[in-house]
Amino acid sequence: MDYKTKPTTRLELRKLANAFDILADTKDSLYKPVVELLDKIPDIMPFVHYEIVDDNAFEINVPARGYFEPDGNYTIEIKEYVYNGAIQGNGACRGFIMHEIFHPFLYRLGFVPLYERSFKDGELHPYESVEWQVKAITGEYMMNYDQTKDLSKDEIIKQCGVSKVFAKKRKKY
The pTM is what?
Answer: 0.92
Buried b / exposed e along 119-145 (16+ C-beta atoms within 10 A) = eeeeebeebbbbbbbbbbbbbbbbbbe
> In this structure, is residue 48 part of a structural domain?
yes
SS3 64: strand
Question: Per residue in 90-113, pLDDT tens?
Answer: 999 999 999 999 999 999 999 887
Provide the residue range defining the domain that includes 96: 10-145
> In this structure, is residue 151 part of a structural domain?
no
Band (pLDDT 50/70/90 cuts) for residue 65 is very high
- Supply the pLDDT for residue 173: 67
CATH of the domain at 62: 1.10.10
CB atoms within 10 A of CB 69: 10
Distance CA 4, CA 64 (A): 21
> In this structure, is residue 163 part of a structural domain?
no
> In this structure, is residue 139 part of a structural domain?
yes
- Supply the pLDDT for residue 171: 74
- Overall number of domains in the chain: 1
What is the rounded average pLDDT of the residues 29-51?
96
Band (pLDDT 50/70/90 cuts) for residue 121 is low
